[in-house]
């Protein structure tokens, strides 16, 4: 096991730790025990993660005398909807989970979001622990308390802010991700450098390839730095009244592309974020906010990592630039009908812009094909 990094999410009475280490799952019992009133937890996972890692988690809990029951839901984005949400809530009730009990969300972003939301409504709110198993979940979705499910009208439209009591990010679990899933999560890692820390982006330019190839120390540093940045922003603005929106760098473009591609295998969320970050820098440059060097550098790094950069890298037909712009207008972050973007004055210098001219966005999209 590597030395554990601990990052505190400073939210007053709801503050909690994010712990990061290789092999941390084997300490899950000792980590979770102080949060329990009785030595019993309910774990919700997906079938893929469950087959790979559930026995190890349950053994670690048993070693600390903690009994556990587990539910494995089908893997994939389609799980994040009412039917599986109902299955999850009713299973937790069948397990007789009480107000002071703890639910463990053990999986990637889909499981973390769905189980966190289930915990937020079960008996008007029970505690939960995130044990994120994907890079995307470790650096982003497990931290900050956004929980929810998708609606036919759009992604994440039903949900609640419900902070976990603890997050355990085991870097070793990233070893079983497919290279594509790993790189998709890496899109969110790059986002942190781009939005607020040029030195971190430079570090990624140097260390990204080693990190992708499995360098554990590099992975731990990248997760730690990402979580530090997220924790700091969430502590400043828990419910996204202001600065938390910076975490949506690249996401307005991404959400339109995800909608156009059906939220499936054609474009993974982190892939869309990476493409979206490149487009957000291109848009910033066209608006005269940053030099041409900035978008070129973003694109060069994504290319060097073997990631999708241009719209033509997405397999299959895409709708026209005009239709994509229209899809952006349906993004839930639109306020008073104006397009809100996260733009940048340079790498690491992002800000919220709430009135971006649609014709410039359209020109960026047309040139991205
Ligand atoms: N993933 C963006 C946020 O947590 O605010």
Residues having CB within 6 Å of any atom of ligand 1 = 140, 144, 146, 244, 247
Of 112, 143, 146, the one to substitute when testing ligand 1's pocket (max ligand atoms within 8 A of C-beta) is 146
- Decide: residue 246, CB within 10 A, 0-12 exposed, 13-18 middle, 19+ buried: buried
**H helical segments located in 197-242:** 198-212, 216-236
Q: Which residues are catalytic?
A: 124, 146, 188, 230, 240, 244, 248, 251, 255, 269
Give nearest CA residue, ligand 1 atom 2: 247
Task: Check: CB of residue 259 under 8 Å from CB of residue 265.
Answer: no
The domain spans of the chain are 5-176, 179-368
Query: Ligand 1, closest atom to CA 245?
Result: 5
Fold designation for 5-176: Rossmann fold (3.40.50)
Task: Check: CB of residue 189 under 8 Å from CB of residue 307.
Answer: no
Of 139, 188, 189, 244, the one to substitute when testing ligand 1's pocket (max ligand atoms within 8 A of C-beta) is 244
Residue 143 has phi, psi (to 5 degrees) of -110, 130
Provide the residue-wise pLDDT of the chain in tens; the chain has 369 residues.
889 999 999 999 999 999 999 999 999 999 999 999 999 999 999 999 999 999 999 999 999 999 999 999 999 999 999 999 999 999 999 999 999 999 999 999 999 999 999 999 999 999 999 999 999 999 999 999 999 999 987 889 999 999 999 999 999 999 999 999 999 999 999 999 999 999 999 999 999 999 999 999 999 999 999 999 999 999 999 999 999 999 999 999 999 999 999 888 999 999 999 999 999 999 999 999 999 999 999 999 999 999 999 999 999 999 999 999 988 876 545 555 568 899 999 999 999 998 898 889 999 999 998
CA distance 264 to 268: 7
Distance of CA 13 to the CA centre of its chain: 24
249 CA to centre of ligand 1 in angstroms: 10
Candidates 251, 267, 223, 262; CA nearest to 328 is 251
Superfamily of domain 179-368: Dehydroquinate synthase-like - alpha domain (1.20.1090.10)
Candidates 141, 139, 140, 117; CA nearest to 128 is 117
CA distance 20 to 110: 20
Query: Ligand 1, closest atom to CA 234?
Result: 5
DSSP 260-280: HHTSSTTS-HHHHHHHHHHHH
């Amino acid at each position: 096991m590597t030395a554990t990094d601990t990052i505190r999410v400073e939210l007053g009475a709801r503050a909690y730790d994010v712990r990061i280490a290789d092999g941390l799952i084997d300490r899950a019992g000792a980590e979770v025990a102080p949060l329990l009133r009785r030595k019993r937890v309910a774990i919700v996972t997906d079938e893929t993660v469950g087959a790979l890692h559930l026995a190890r988690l349950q053994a670690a809990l048993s070693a600390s005398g903690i009994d556990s029951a587990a539910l494995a839901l089908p893997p994939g984005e389609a799980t994040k909807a009412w039917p599986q949400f109902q299955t999850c809530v009713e299973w937790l009730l069948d397990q007789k989970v009480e107000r002071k009990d703890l639910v463990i969300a053990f999986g990637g972003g889909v499981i973390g979001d769905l189980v966190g939301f289930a915990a937020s409504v079960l008996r008007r709110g029970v505690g939960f622990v995130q044990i994120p198993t994907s890079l995307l979940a470790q650096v982003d979705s497990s931290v900050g308390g956004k929980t929810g499910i998708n609606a036919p009208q759009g992604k994440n439209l039903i949900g609640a802010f419900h902070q976990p009591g603890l997050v355990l990010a085991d870097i070793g679990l990233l070893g079983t991700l497919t290279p594509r899933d790993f790189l998709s999560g890496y899109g969110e890692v790059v986002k942190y450098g781009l939005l607020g820390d040029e030195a971190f982006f430079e570090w990624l330019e140097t260390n990204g390839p080693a990190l992708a190839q499995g360098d554990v120390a590099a992975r731990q540093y990248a997760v730690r730095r990402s979580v530090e940045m997220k924790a700091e922003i969430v502590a400043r603005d828990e419910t996204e009244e202001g600065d938390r929106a910076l975490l949506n760098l690249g996401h307005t473009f991404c959400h339109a592309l995800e909608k156009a591609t059906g939220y499936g295998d054609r474009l993974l969320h982190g892939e869309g974020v990476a493409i979206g970050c490149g487009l957000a820098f291109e848009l910033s440059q066209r608006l005269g906010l940053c030099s041409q060097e900035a978008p070129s550098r973003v694109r060069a790094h994504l290319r060097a990592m073997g990631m999708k950069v241009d719209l033509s890298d997405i397999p299959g037909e895409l709708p026209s630039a005009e239709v994509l712009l229209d899809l952006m207008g349906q993004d839930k972050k639109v306020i008073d009908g104006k397009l809100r973007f996260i733009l940048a004055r340079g790498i690491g210098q992002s800000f919220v812009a709430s009135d971006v001219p649609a014709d410039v966005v359209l020109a960026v999209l047309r040139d991205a094909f």
